[in-house]
Structure 1
Amino acid sequence: MNLFEPVGAPPVTASVVVCVYTEKRWADIVAAVESVAAQDVRPLETIVVVDHNPALLDRAREAFPELVVVANAHKQGLSGARNTAVELAKGEVVVFLDDDASARPGWLRALLEPYADPAVAGVGGVAHPRFPGGRPVMLPGDALSDHGTGELDWVVGCTYTGQPTAQAEVRNLMGCNMSLRAEVFKRVGGFAEDIGRIGKNPLGCEETELCIRARQAYRADGRDIKILFEPRAAVDHRVSEDRVEWAYLRRRSWAEGLSKAAVSKLVGQGDALSTERGYVATVLPRAVLREVRAGRPASAAAVVVCLGFTTAGYVRGKLPGATAHVSLPAANGA
């Protein structure tokens, strides 16, 4: 069986997973699937998991007869959908691409090549934001940056200032563009289904929790694993209009705090916040200073608002009896 194009096969086979939940993203879903098919490396299979939406399931099966299209067999939400795919995947590596992201040429090859090192357990890549207009004021970015990132781009699921610009080891991968060896799931289980996104609910961090849990489990067995960030593996991530509003910034920041609190309860505060400490201490202050000096007080305020709501969410999530599904408190517009 010819699994790959004859231009040098990567060291592992791959199952590419696209999880979907709403027909409103149909054009995005088609673009995501087509971007996988256009890669110079062919995956062993592409799996589309539909999250508790029978109408969308029928439409996807009709549109993609050559793909594996299945319903989420677990709890509703992105984690359950991903776990469904993991159970079905036949590839040595399971690759996850968001339903509103399109892979750039060379994406899959760049993700898979590092697996030639047997110590590499996971590889993730860059997500470039595709805004509905220009960069919004509430997501400031350094105009001088060669990489086009902003300090708060994680709010919209994209690569943010402070992440590596060359291949490097990282604590965790970013969900819209990531891959993990299938053996990792066999060793430590799947994504935690009590945290993470459900529909438009902007909770997250299930990828962070899984990566930390995997590293802790392998270390307990006397084996160190590598989780890599590979900037050559790039996707374009569409940002919808509702995500470039102040209300979404506050809601997403609050949810991030709640999610980080939930992760810290599962894997310990030290590992859960190891990356965030440096980000808060160095990246955010530089952003505020730059925006103030440039005469952009609203953008500087966005950084402060984001940090404030994230911190408040984390504190709320750490309270006894708190869950990751606490509603966002009312707030005035910024």
Structure 2
Amino acid sequence: MSAQTGAGISVVVCVYTEDRWEDILAAVSSVGAQSLTARETLLVVDHNPTLLERLTKEYEAYDGSGDVRVLANAGPRGLSAGRNTGIAAARGDVIAFLDDDAVAERDWLRYFAEGFDDPRVLAVGGRTLPAWESGGRPDWFPEEFDWVVGCTYKGLPRGRVRVRNVLGGNASFRRAAFDAAGGFATGIGRDGDKRPLGCEETEFCIRLARAVPDAVLLIDDRAVIHHRVPAARERFGYFRTRTYAEGLSKALVARSVGASKGLESERRYTTRVLPSGVARGLRDAALGRPGGAGRAGAIVAGVLTATAGYVVGSVRARRGGAAFSAGPVGDTGGRAEGVRSTGGEGAAA
């Protein structure tokens, strides 16, 4: 995708709470400051009429430009349906996703666009760095578990490399990817802060690779965003809850795509990356460096709680107690009723 066609990128930001008002404004502002101009920014509000109304008023000055549109999630509550609503309403040939509590660096979209110069590439992800509310990483918090707070973690390859899946809060896809594989599966991803689940992008990317066997998915770590980590997520209690939820989510993914694909990357992570992290933490402890023992212990605790979640999730899946669906993105109603817009041509493409 050349610079001339870069304006074909629609950016989707899914939002759900007024508690992140300033974060949402900052996210939208960072899209507007890109060196490669986005075609539009879509704010998809997850079943929060007050926030929908407030954002509509905030961006009504954009009326007629199409720069920012505010939409209501036309599907069930949750991040997956919100993304599907954004995909269905987007006008761009590429759809990029940015977390509502993150800001993108100036060349974020430009690096995404460069990846799509190869017609085989259907997805390009980026690098997500934590912005700790306390001012710095807690001594005990291992970099190998930065995915707990929605960030790129130690163990992922560097540079521009081919991967099994991208990370959903900092990613872009050709529209053709959704035409081929449908939308994000509802029932896996987050529902506000009620269920800190995830893995919907993992399941989608594996499904995409099956639908288009020669598809190329990339991560380019030059496409950087900064993700705010609130103080509540710097605590061990959240770490434990989130790792357990990840295990539950992985069980759902394995049910959908099979354990061989669903856990392919995780096997390398648990057998090579994490043991190295434990050894590094113990070495730091022996050398008297702060947090070494805590990091080693957190890695062990994270593995145990994620494993427990996976076991529980697998049992529930076998009993039929966990289900999700992944149909065409139009099933959310994003191109029809239930979508509210400010500016441009309305919700329909």
1:269 aligns with one of 253, 259, 270: 259
In the alignment, does 2:215 pair up with 1:215?
A: no
TM-aligned CA deviation for residue 187 of structure 1: 1.4
2:95, 2:311 → 1: CA distance? 34
Q: Which runs of 4+ in 1 moved over 4 A?
A: 322-325
Paired amino acid for 2:212: Y
1:202, 1:136 → 2: CA distance? 20
Q: Partner residue of 1:205?
A: 199
Paired amino acid for 1:101: A
Task: Pick 1 or 2: higher relative contact order, CA cutoff 8 A, min separation 6.
Answer: 2
In the alignment, does 2:65 pair up with 1:63?
A: no
TM-aligned CA deviation for residue 137 of structure 1: 3.1
1:257 aligns with one of 244, 247, 255: 247
Distance 1:241 1:323, change over 3 A: farther
Q: Partner residue of 1:314?
A: 310
TM-score, with length taken from structure 2: 0.85
1:286, 1:104 → 2: CA distance? 31
Root-mean-square deviation over aligned CA pairs = 1.5
Q: Residue by residue, what CA displacement relative to the aligned partner does 1:236-264 show, whole Å, maximum 9, x if unpaired?
A: 00001111111111110000000000001
The answer to whether the 8 A contact 1:96-1:175 is kept is: yes
TM-aligned CA deviation for residue 138 of structure 1: 3.6
The answer to whether the 8 A contact 1:122-1:178 is kept is: yes
Gaps of 5+ in 1: 141-149, 326-334
1:61, 1:12 → 2: CA distance? 23
The answer to whether the 8 A contact 1:253-1:306 is kept is: yes
TM-aligned CA deviation for residue 105 of structure 1: 1.2
Q: Partner residue of 1:85?
A: 86
Paired amino acid for 1:44: R
In the alignment, does 2:153 pair up with 1:160?
A: yes
In the alignment, does 2:213 pair up with 1:227?
A: no
In the alignment, does 2:170 pair up with 1:177?
A: yes
2:141 aligns with one of 135, 139, 143: 139
Q: Partner residue of 2:49?
A: 54
TM-aligned CA deviation for residue 323 of structure 1: 4.6
Q: Residue by residue, what CA displacement relative to the aligned partner does 1:47-89 show, whole Å, maximum 9, x if unpaired?
A: 0000000000011111122211010000100001001011111
Paired amino acid for 1:271: K
TM-aligned CA deviation for residue 9 of structure 1: 2.6
2:25, 2:207 → 1: CA distance? 33
TM-aligned CA deviation for residue 101 of structure 1: 0.6
Q: Partner residue of 2:301?
A: 305
In the alignment, does 2:192 pair up with 1:191?
A: no
Distance 1:324 1:203, change over 3 A: farther
Gaps of 5+ in 2: 63-67, 286-291, 324-349
2:174, 2:71 → 1: CA distance? 21
Paired amino acid for 2:272: T
Paired amino acid for 1:218: V
Paired amino acid for 1:204: G
Q: Residue by residue, what CA displacement relative to the aligned partner does 1:160-195 show, whole Å, maximum 9, x if unpaired?
A: 011111100011111110011111111111000011
1:87, 1:314 → 2: CA distance? 32
1:8, 1:156 → 2: CA distance? 33
In the alignment, does 2:30 pair up with 1:29?
A: no
TM-aligned CA deviation for residue 113 of structure 1: 1.1
1:138, 1:98 → 2: CA distance? 25
SS in 1 for 2:4: coil
